[in-house]
Chains A and B, each alone.
Chain A
């Protein structure tokens, strides 16, 4: 068993969900997260907005300028069998790849055990 942990753009979650469902990966969970990548984001536009727009509330301006500047992302996590990993990764890459920085990352982690809470089944049947 492997866990596929994908960090993708907020607005791509529905497309990814549909694409995964079509290829028979219905089960997953996802969460709103904040993050940053290797490349520095250019905030000069935001800073211009803050300095020009005097009506913007000082608190909001502070959050944007002084905060640690993380961007909202979706963390998608699904557990699959070993031989399904390649297929699932391909689906996620194909639906999310626009060729731009910030499209996201996929990590594959080993999972030692899965247990279904309802019945107590373990192993591959429980996925």
Chain B
């Protein structure tokens, strides 16, 4: 199992969530976060704004589904044809175990 953490633009969340649901990955957790990237935030005049609001989507998927989910998020979170700075990042990390609380069963 792999955990996919995607930090994306708040205005793209709706699109990404509905596309994920249509593709058969409904389970997702969303957190409001603030952050900056390699560009050190947004420069307006002489001021750097370095706490830019973003949304983090967390999902845990099977190993073989990872590529599909990452591709889907990338396709839908991108702004414009080429994409722009600030479209976000996707991180993938291993998950050793998963439990469903209601039944106590092991696995996704």
Contact = CB atoms under 8 A, between A and B. Distances in A.
B94 A75 contact: no
Contacts of A99: 102-103
A2 B95 CA distance: 10
Counting chain B residues whose Cβ lies within 8 A of the other chain, the interface size class is: 20 to 34
Given A107-B60, A108-B95, A34 B30 contact: yes
A53 to B, nearest CB: 24
B104 A35 contact: no
Contact of B94 (A8, A36, A105, A109): A109
B97 A70 contact: no
Given A36-B26, A38-B26, A70-B30, A97 B94 contact: no
B28 A106 contact: no
Interface string B26-52: 111111000000000000000000000
B96 A106 contact: no
Given A33-B29, A34-B30, A75-B31, A8 B101 contact: yes
Given A34-B31, A35-B28, 12 more contacts: A39-B26, A68-B13, A96-B101, A97-B102, A104-B101, A105-B101, A106-B99, A107-B60, A108-B95, A108-B96, A108-B98, A109-B96
